[in-house]
Structure 1
Amino acid sequence: MTYEVKGVVARSKGAPVTVETILVPDPGPGEAIVDVQACGVCATDLHYREGNISDDFPFLLGHEAAGVVSAVGDGVTDVAVGDYVVLNWRAVCGQCRACLRGEPQYCFDTHNAAQKMTLADGTELSPALGIGAFAGKTLVHSGQCTKIDPAAPATAAGLLGCGVMAGAGAAMNTGAVRRGESVAVFGCGGVGDAAIAGAKLAGATTIVAVDVEDRKLEWARQFGATHTVNSKETDPVEAIRALTGGFGVDVAIDAVGHPKVFEQAFYARDLAGRVVMVGVPAPDVRIELPAIEVFGRGGAIKSSWYGDCLPSRDFPMLVDLYLQGRFPLDEFVGEAIGLDDVEEAFDDLRRGEVLRSVVVLDK
């Protein structure tokens, strides 16, 4: 059986997205179909549309999603029909060298569905991050489905699928923020604010938010920033040192991915501090630092893959904390929209007018 649903498609580089009929096949071995309830509009989807990730057009966009499993293929035992899930784009294989050494969060051979969803004329679609969830149904590998408490609304829970998990994990997992430590987060969009929320949850007592827009800095305070710095008006490195007794922070997180921002994060940390890059850089940019500074400051420089998360561990934990009122997922949701509104949501995202627009599939 083939299912017909509506989905948001990017047909060519830079062209406005279109809502089209998508054909979703029955799940094969190891696969599952998820009826999508809500899906966040992430900057990664815009990067796909702009051709900044690959040129495998047409793309079925959307990946920050929650919904209900409606069908499973042969051999699937980890999820069942009726399970409420958040989708993830790193379904671990269990067999690669990272998995076998007990570090599945670094899995080097993650799974996606083997079959392709298509347009009505048979053209194969490339699903964004192996998910493609701006659609009524999507086909994924069963390992991409993470069961969570159904008490969490899909509009909030789905955001764990990418940006919120990346930011929170950059602080809690990659940066390993500890109680009483100081943290600076550069860039206060969805990922940066999630890093701030994660740092607060981990027990950081000084959390400095850095951005060039006062509106975003105000958002950052809502997520737990204790201090803010507008880097258009003030040197952020000097400001951060002034707030930390002249030393710098224990953990500096670059949620932008720009060489200048990374350099600021590098110099804003204390000796033996940790620098974390979670913002995605453009493929052609380079970072240059004096080798003696890299050596002399000690500590660690880390990149953060998906917040170094293990979805089966981290998604349910963060949902439970959300339901306890300790992790503010609802605060990331700026507006609920329909499939027809995704192109406008991209414009809002570029202008920094909303943390997350969320597509609700019954709209």
Structure 2
Amino acid sequence: MAAMVSRGVVLRAFGEPLVVETAEVPAPQPGALIARVEMAGVCGTDVHLHHGNLPIPTPVILGHEAVGRVVRLGDGVTSDFTGVPLHEGDAIAWASSIPCGRCHWCVVEGERTLCETRRVYGINQRFDEWPHLSGGWADAVYLQPGTAVFKLPVGTPPERAIALGCAGPTAVHGVLDVIGVRAGETVVVQGSGPVGIAAAMYAHLSGAAKVIVVGGPASRLALARELGVGDVHVDLFAVADPAARIALVLGETPGGRGADVVLECAGVPAAVAEGFEMARRNGRYLVLGQYTDRGATPINPHVITRKQLTVAGSWAFAEAHYLRYIQSLPRLADRFDLTRLITPYPLEDANRALADVAAGAVMKAVLVPAGAA
């Protein structure tokens, strides 16, 4: 059999243009499998990786969000993470990281997202080391033993599965588990990118009485409004004064007291202090969007005490959160047209896609390898 060769979009130097290179697709070892990538998401984190804002090894094929189809199963691989039989040709998605399962955080704390030695596709797996194809921005990806692979429900198009990317399971972890949005609550979402949109969607599914989205640019808010994501939309570019934004948001809450829950999904440090002012007394505040270190920001801790705020952070997601995201896709798709979130780009246009994400010109850029979809 002739060797398979795959293209991959490689980051070799921070801040430099990405380059398309090729590598031979290795035969899967026991417990591994080869997937043909149908669609791969471009995340805001990829922009930070490109800029060198996270300490990652290079060269690396980027892409920690992807869906595809099984090409070849390694010995011993007969089912997905949940025990569903798996065969060549099946449509699949997979969690982006492989926790070690042995450290204090994995075993004692039971917080697998905090594993300090987890392997992450498209982030800390070098292109110049075997198995080379460890990122989703490629024709094929080598899914290593221990990867949580999920067979997609029959009839689930790749556009639907990739639309929220890592933002979907990240929101499951933070919005549903860490902060726990409850039915009847008023929720403010700071940020209207993929994380903010996903957080707002899950707030709706949790039964929130009102969801207020504060974000921009206007095109993103317009799309959210058209999809029914959020009940009130505040354009932070149109209302540039933070005090005016706070007053506007408070006016949309019961009795002007503030929101029960505020979800920071903006990735902007200054949003935190502003968000504290949007929360009611005895309210809850979740920091979900600060995935890279963008510096310190002034906050007044007296506000936390005076308001008796519960402030929590949430880091990424584990396999169980990804499973619940996949399980919730039918409900999400019934309520929201997920496919309208995405803008497709050929694999070779990864630099343009990355630039558009950095500029906020699209909601969700998706790379489509030639002939994959």
Same fold (TM over 0.5): yes
Match of 2:83 in 1: none
Q: Is 1:280 matched with 2:280?
A: no
The aligned residue for residue 305 of structure 1 is 315
Which of 241, 245, 250 is equivalent to 1:241?
250
Shift of 1:116: 6.7
Change (3 A) 1:161 1:348: closer
**Pick from 204, 212, 227: which aligns with 2:232?**
227
In the alignment, residue 339 of structure 1 is paired with which amino acid? Answer: L
Q: Which residue of 2 aligns with 1:187?
A: 191
1:189 counterpart letter in structure 2: G
Query: Using the alignment, how far apart are the partners of 1:179 and 1:140 within structure 2?
Result: 39
Q: Deviations over 1:180-201 (max 9, x none)?
A: 1011111101111111111111
TM-score, with structure 2 as normaliser? 0.84
Given that 1:87 and 1:158 are in contact with CA atoms closer than 8 Å, whether structure 2 keeps it comes out as no
SS, match of residue 251 in structure 2? helix
User: Contact (CA 8 Å) 2:217, 2:235: kept in 1 or not?
Assistant: yes
Cα pair distance change 1:144/1:238, threshold 3 Å: same
Q: Which moved more, 1:186-195 or 1:301-310?
A: 301-310
SS at match of 1:270: strand
Separation of aligned partners in 2, 1:47 and 1:260: 18
Q: Any residues of structure 2 matched to 1:187-336 within 5 Å, and which?
A: 187-221=191-225, 222-232=227-237, 233=239, 234=241, 235-244=244-253, 245-280=255-290, 282-283=292-293, 285-306=295-316, 310-311=320-321, 313-322=323-332, 325-333=334-342, 335-336=343-344
Inter-partner Cα distance in structure 2 for 1:21 and 1:308: 30
Residues 327/90 of structure 1: CA separation in 2 closer, same or farther (3 Å cut): farther
Residues 113, 317 of structure 2: 8 Å contact kept: no
How far apart are residue 358 of structure 1 and its match?
Answer: 1.4
Query: Deviation of residue 72 (structure 1)?
Result: 3.2
Match for residue 351 of structure 1?
Answer: 359
CA distance in structure 1 between the aligned counterparts of 2:125 and 2:109, rounded to whole angstroms? 31
Contact 1:185 1:208 in 2 (8 A): yes
CA 150–46 in structure 1, closer or farther in 2 if over 3 Å, else same: farther
Write the distance in 2 (CA, Å) between the matches of 1:126 and 1:296. 54
Equivalents in 2 of 1:51, 1:125: separation in Å? 23
Equivalent position SS for 1:192: helix
- Report the Cα distance in structure 1 between the residues aligned to 2:31 and 2:329, rounded to whole angstroms: 26
Alpha-carbon distance in 1 for matches of 2:157, 2:112: 26
- Partner AA of 1:285 in structure 2: G
- The corresponding residue for 1:166 is 170
The 3 A distance-change label for structure 1 pair 50 and 347 is same
**Are the counterparts in 2 of residues 318 and 327 from structure 1 also a CA contact under 8 Å?**
no
Please list, as runs of the form range in 1=range in 2, the aligned pairs for 1:50-61 lying within 5 A after superposition: 50-61=51-62
Aligned-pair CA distance for 1:327: 4.6
Shift of 1:169: 4.2
CA gap 1:319/1:257 in 2 versus in 1, 3 angstroms: same
Cα separation, 1, equivalents of 2:47 and 2:118: 23
- Please list the CA deviations of residues 92-151 of structure 1 after superposition, one character each: whole Å capped at 9, or x if unmatched: 5555445546845546254568x9774xxxx33898xx9401111111234232222131
For the residues of structure 1 that align with 2:165 and 2:223, how far apart are their CA atoms? Answer: 21
Deviations 1:49-79 (A, max 9, x none): 2222225221201221111222233444543
**AA partner of residue 282 (structure 2):** A
Cα deviations by residue, 1:175-231 (Å, 9 ceiling, x for unpaired):
311111011111101111111111111111111111242222222323421112223
RMSD (Å), alpha carbons: 2.9
Q: Could you tell me which residue of structure 1 aligns to residue 158 of structure 2?
A: 154
Q: 1:55 to 1:176 in 2, by over 3 A?
A: closer
Tell me the amino acid that sits aligned with residue 357 of structure 2: L
**2: distance between equivalents of 1:207 and 1:311?**
22
Q: Which amino acid in 2 is paired with 1:268?
A: M
Question: What is the alpha-carbon distance in structure 2 between the residues aligned to residue 51 and residue 126 of structure 1?
Answer: 24
| Contact 2:344-2:365 at 8 Å conserved across structures | yes
Number of equivalenced pairs: 354
- Report the CA distance shift for 1:261/1:101 in structure 2 as closer, same or farther (over 3 A): same
Give the alignment of 1:97-136 within 5 angstroms. 97-100=104-107, 103=110, 106=113, 108=115, 110-111=118-119, 118=127, 123-124=128-129, 131-136=134-139
- Shift in CA distance, 85/251, structure 1 to aligned 2, threshold 3 Å: same
Q: Percent identity?
A: 27
Decide whether aligned partners of structure 1 residues 361 and 67 sit closer, same or farther in structure 2, where only a CA change above 3 A counts: same
Which structure 2 segments of 5+ residues have no match? 81-85
Q: Indicate how the Cα distance of structure 1 residues 243 and 34 shifts in structure 2: closer, same or farther if over 3 A, else same.
A: same
Distance 1:256 1:100, change over 3 A: same
2:338 counterpart letter in structure 1: L
Using a 3 Å threshold, how does the CA distance of structure 1 residues 88 and 309 change in structure 2: closer, same or farther? Answer: closer
> Which deviates more from structure 2 when the two are superposed, residues 167-176 or residues 242-251?
167-176
User: What is the aligned counterpart of 2:98 among 91, 107, 112?
Assistant: 91
CA distance in 1, matches of 2:257, 2:170: 27
Asked if the contact 1:2/1:26 (under 8 Å) is kept, the reply is no
**1:182 touches 1:206 (CA, 8 Å); kept in 2?**
yes
Structure 1 residues 321 and 182: CA distance shift in structure 2, 3 A: same
